[in-house]
Structure 1
Amino acid sequence: MRLTNLKVAEQSVSFLQAVQIGLGKQQGLFFPQSFPQLPVDNLLAMPFQQRSQRIMQALIGDELSDAVIGKLVEQAFTFAAPLQSVKNNLYCLELFHGPTLAFKDFGARFMAQAIQQARELEKTTIVTATSGDTGAAVADAFYKQPGIQVVVLYPEGKVSALQEKQFSTLGDNILTLAVDGDFDQCQSLVKQVFDDQEVVSALHVNSANSINISRLLAQVCYYFEAVAQCPPDSREQIVFSVPSGNFGNLCAGLIAKAMGLPFKRIIAATNSNDTVPRYWNEGYWQGKPTQATLSNAMDISEPNNWPRIEAMLTRGLIARSDIHAYSVTEADTETALRALDKLGYVSEPHAAVAYSALERDLADNEVGVFLGTAHPAKFKQSVEEILGKTIELPGVLAACQKKDSLSERIPADYQQLRKRLLQLR
């Protein structure tokens, strides 16, 4: 597998090189020129792990042996992605059954295995930004792994209390920095790290955001799993609705479609941070100051993965008609949560955004699948206030809730971050 820097076309790397480098020159994303076509009918008849091994083998190619790729998948995908019926012809793909109760577990755990496979140095420093769930998934995937130091930046006061506790209470090789700013500023700080060659060289820096291609490709697998759980005669009519912030999740779905997965289209569902819906529907790209919302993990105005989606459109790998885009207000998010509750399904704000957009878009003869990206208990306070009912905490959340945060506070200033990072040498 060869991947090209979308900003510097001369920089072409292998899969393992892309995993190790993370972000390319001039902050460019690595991406393949095309994707393999798969024997979909045969794949959809396989169990999840076996199918996922075949998908990752096709994507990565012969750089890693089939046995090695099989081991990476087996160690990463140790939990299910069930398709839960909500009402007739409408389902939630539950992606929150992993160790940190969020969809990021799929990509983070595979990426952790891939980075260990690619690592040639005694120590690697993972620097990542989180708007909520990435921090917990990455911290859990790399916790106490030898030779790995993790640094998580997050916007102070702008992630849920339980999300924060999941990654800020671990210690050991996990350093968490609460930034006085929003997620876009955290993301900008991470990009500045990659432009600082002294820091990159001193700490052997890598990233665990979805800019790392290994995390993105792993997410392709659960779209195949969703379609596999639908009746064969309905697959061509499936419409996915994806709660979208940094747009890695949507990009993974489009990669699955480019590989031949049969579904009709995919919806980019954002909250009030609506840069992409405005661009998609009105034709101009203009970021606005990030707004804090109930669906905080999507509070992003400059999504990192959008250039990859643009590249797929430009290369003809997907069509414009494959994507619809909607922005969902806070009021509509609350309405969607209550509507789901009336149907007997307790959800959380991010999935509610996807459900609301799907309800606007879905035709009578189509099958809707919205992605459930986190367990509702991770947003216990807001969900309880909206629904007027108590949400039980799973054991993993109850345990971390009792622990003290170990985070350090820093301003949204690169020189301050740089000074702290160099102390890790």
Structure 2
Amino acid sequence: MQLYNLKDNNERVCFSQAIRQGLGRWQGLFFPLELPSFDADEIDTLLAMDFVTRSSKIMEAFVGDEIGSERLHKRVEAAFTFPAPVVQVEDDIACLELFHGPTLAFKDFGGRFMAQMLAEVAGDKPVTILTATSGDTGAAVAHAFYGLKNVRVVILYPKGKISSLQEKLFCTLGGNVFTVAIEGDFDACQALVKQAFDDRSLREGLHLNSANSINISRLLAQICYYFEAVAQLPKEKRQQLVISVPSGNFGNLTAGLLAKAIGLPVKRFIAATNVNDTVPRFLSSGEWKPNSTQATLSNAMDVSQPNNWPRVEELFRRQHWSLSELGFATVNDETTKQTMKALANIGHVIEPHAAVAYRALRDQLQPDEFGLFLGTAHPAKFQESVESILERELPLPDELAEREMLPLLSYSMAADFDKLSHFLITIPH
């Protein structure tokens, strides 16, 4: 598998190098030079397979020339040890629940697959994983890489801007996992990560690697659960399928669009954001004008400069699609609350991110269409806000209950690159 740098098309790397490197020159994202393609019969065959077997076949179509099919199957099997069920919500709408993994969020799929891929290609070489999180990525990455030999994990997150239970899930591990609360928003965290990767001596000296959706292995893994979703739908609903994706950094939407590009039958996608609406405004006006990031109930989507958007634009260009075909919506906190209450009244408790996706879908779904929205995190990860909005108590899953009372092990730091650089160099190897 060959990939090219979106900011320097002359830089081309294999899949193994892209995993190890994360970003290309000029902080450019890697993108596949060629995409596999499945015809309708092949898609039907794939959809009849079980989740792990199908996912292995899809990943083999991307990277099969570098990793043998048997080894790849074992890696996928080790990563995807939990289901992604489709749950009916209304007659014409269902939810793809992506929160049944160890950290109760969709990031488990990408994080665990990347850990398996890095273990496959890195061998005994030491690696420092450096990533930024607006909530769920941190937990997924921390748990996926926790205890792995020759791997240090450093996770930056915006201080005071993620839920306390999100924080407890990944800031209580210790060991080879180091968490840093940055005095700023997620964009400030991500800017620090980019600076670190742009510093050659730091990047090469510490063998830096990023495990957020910048890394192509995470993105490819997410393609698999879109296929899993369609596989669970009756055939008559597949041809009129509309998928609404809660969007912050836009990796999840990118994966869905890649699934469509290689043959998955999806009529259209909706990019659903909160009031951090850079992309909806761009799609409406044609002007890219990021505003200052605003804190919202759906905090994992509090991103004003989504890192994966260049990949979306490149895919639309390559596929000769028009961006006018991409649905979009902006949902504020008040509407999010009302949506959560309305769904709770019909027996479906969801958290704010899923509520944003559902609201956009319900508002735009046509009578002949079937809608699917992504449930990206367990409601209990946002216990305080969900309980306050719904005025009821939420029982904590074991994964959260066992960490609720543990002390935080995080460092606190200003959004200062020199301080981060010193920290990276001095923490234990």
What is the TM-score of this pair, normalised by structure 1? 0.99
Paired with 1:368 and 1:142, the residues of 2 have a C-alpha distance of 35
Q: Does 1:286 align with 2:289?
A: yes
Within 1, Cα distance between the matches of 2:288 and 2:64?
36
- Return the match for 2:229 from 226, 230, 242: 226
CA distance in 2, matches of 1:52, 1:122: 28
Q: Secondary structure at the match of 1:11?
A: strand
* Aligned residues of 1:134 and 1:209 also touching (Cα < 8 A): yes
Q: Which residue of 1 aligns with 2:263?
A: 260
SS state of the match for residue 352, structure 1?
helix
Q: Which amino acid is the alignment partner of residue 276 of structure 1?
A: V
Aligned to 1:29: 29
Aligned-partner Cα distance in 1 for 2:167–2:133: 10
What is the DSSP-based 3-state SS (H/G/I as helix, E as strand, rest coil) of the residue aligned with 2:403? helix
Instruction: Tell me, yes or no, if the aligned pair for 1:108 and 1:141 is still in contact at 8 Å.
Output: yes
Does the CA contact (< 8 Å) of 1:254 and 1:318 recur in 2? Answer: no
1:326-366 CA distance string (max 9 Å, x none): 11011110111011111210000000000011111101111
Aligned to 1:373: 376
Distance 1:208 1:81 in 2: 22
Once residues 214 and 228 of structure 2 are traced to their aligned partners in structure 1, the CA distance between those partners, rounded to angstroms, is 23
Alignment of 1:197-346 (within 5 A): 197-316=200-319, 318-346=321-349
1:258 Cα offset (Å): 0.2
CA positional deviation for 1:318: 3.9
State how 1:8-407 maps to structure 2 within 5 Å: 8-38=8-38, 39-316=42-319, 318-407=321-410
Q: Work out the CA distance in 2 between the residues paired with 1:22 and 1:121.
A: 18
2:28 corresponds to which letter in structure 1? G
Does the aligned pair in 1 maintain the 2:283–2:323 contact within 8 Å? no
Query: What's the CA shift string for 1:81-136, capped at 9, x where partnerless?
Result: 00000010110000000000000000000000111112145310000000000000
The one-letter amino acid paired with 1:282 is S
User: Equivalents in 1 of 2:280, 2:190: separation in Å?
Assistant: 21
Q: Secondary structure of the equivalent of 2:61?
A: helix
Q: Is the 8 A contact 1:258 1:318 kept in 2?
A: no
Gaps of 5+ in 1: none
Q: CA deviation at 1:416?
A: 0.6
How far does residue 201 in structure 1 lie from its aligned partner after superposition? 1.8
SS for the counterpart of 1:63 is coil
Kept in 2, the 8 Å contact 1:87–1:343? The answer is no
CA deviation map 1:221-261 (0-9, x unaligned): 00001111111011011100000000000000000000010
Shift in Å at residue 163 of structure 1? 0.3
Output one character per residue of 1:156-187: Cα deviation in whole Å (capped at 9) or x when no partner. 00000000011110000000000000000000
Aligned residues: 425
Unaligned 5+ segments in structure 2 are none
Offset of residue 265 of structure 1: 0.4
On the 8 A contact 1:131/1:299 being kept in 2, the answer is yes
Distance change (3 Å), C-alpha of 1:71 and 1:317: farther
Q: Residue deviations 1:180-235, cap 9 Å, x none? A: 00000000000000011111122110000101000000000000011111110110
Report the Cα offset of residue 320 of structure 1. 2.7
Contact 1:257 1:318 in 2 (8 A): no
Would the aligned equivalents of 2:87 and 2:94 in 1 still touch at CA under 8 Å? yes
Q: CA deviation at 1:59?
A: 1.3
Q: Look up the equivalent residue of 2:114 and give its one-letter code.
A: M
Is residue 293–residue 302 contact of structure 2 (8 Å, CA) maintained in 1? Answer: yes
Separation in structure 1 between the aligned mates of residue 249 and residue 184 of structure 2, nearest angstrom: 17
Distance (Å, rounded) in 2 between the aligned partners of 1:87 and 1:233: 17
Q: Note the C-alpha offset of 1:271.
A: 0.3
Assess if the C-alpha contact under 8 Å between 1:265 and 1:321 holds in 2: no
Spell out, residue by residue over 1:50-100, the C-alpha distance to the aligned partner (whole angstroms, 9 max, x if none).
110110001113111001110110000000000000010110000000000
Distance (Å, rounded) in 2 between the aligned partners of 1:404 and 1:317 = 51
Comparing 118-127 with 413-422, which one deviates more in the overlay?
A: 118-127
Whether the 8 Å contact between 2:152 and 2:177 is mirrored in structure 1 is yes
1:34 CA drift (Å): 3.2
Equivalent position amino acid for 1:23 in 2: L
In 1: Cα distance, 2:13 partner to 2:349 partner: 44
Q: Does residue 6 of structure 1 match 2:9?
A: no
Report the residue type matching 1:346 in the other structure: V
- Kept after mapping to 1: 8 A contact 2:168/2:408: yes
Q: Percent identity between the aligned chains? A: 56
Deviates more, 1:309-318 or 1:220-229: 309-318
Q: Distance in 1 between matches of 2:261 and 2:153?
A: 33
Distance 1:322 1:143 in 2: 41
Query: Cα RMSD over matched residues?
Result: 0.9
Moved over 3 A (4+): none
- Counterpart-to-counterpart distance in 2, 1:343 and 1:91: 13
For 1:414, the aligned partner's letter is: F
Is the Cα contact below 8 Å between 1:264 and 1:322 reproduced in 2? Answer: no
**SS in structure 1 of the partner of residue 374 of structure 2:** strand
